[in-house]
Amino acid sequence: MFEISGPYSNKYYKHWERGIYSCVVCGEDLFLSHTKYDSGSGWPAFYDIIDKDKVTLKQDLSHVGANLLLLVCNPSMARTEVSCSTCGSHVGHVFDDGPKPTGKRFCVNSTSLNFRAQDPLMKTLFQC
């Protein structure tokens, strides 16, 4: 079944259970729940990833289209796409307006994630 996912109405936007968020395509673990926060964007947001090698970052100008003058006048429109390093699937975008300690906001599409609840034996991973 196709899942409709928009801002403020997606599967993991208000999801606060402890666990691990992984890539929906290949299962690679990407985010720990204790790094998730409410960014006010309507999308799941994380201030960090499990490991920098688990994602690929690249400049994304797709929303600008052919209007390069728009980008010249407003360079902040350039976004950074986040993809799973293992399978290459799109995960979301990262911005530099997140909270401490990283200052990053990984703005993620719920449909790109699966969630696995915290295993009681892994409590040390989730202590803040």
User: By CB neighbour count within 10 A (0-12 exposed, 13-18 middle, 19+ buried), where does 128 fall?
Assistant: exposed
Do 94 and 31 form a contact (C-beta atoms < 8 A)?
no
Do 36 and 16 form a contact (C-beta atoms < 8 A)?
yes
* d(C-alpha 38, C-alpha 79), whole Å: 20
From the list 121, 113, 124, the residue with the least C-alpha distance to 45 is 113
Catalytically active residues are: 107
* d(C-alpha 102, C-alpha 119), whole Å: 26
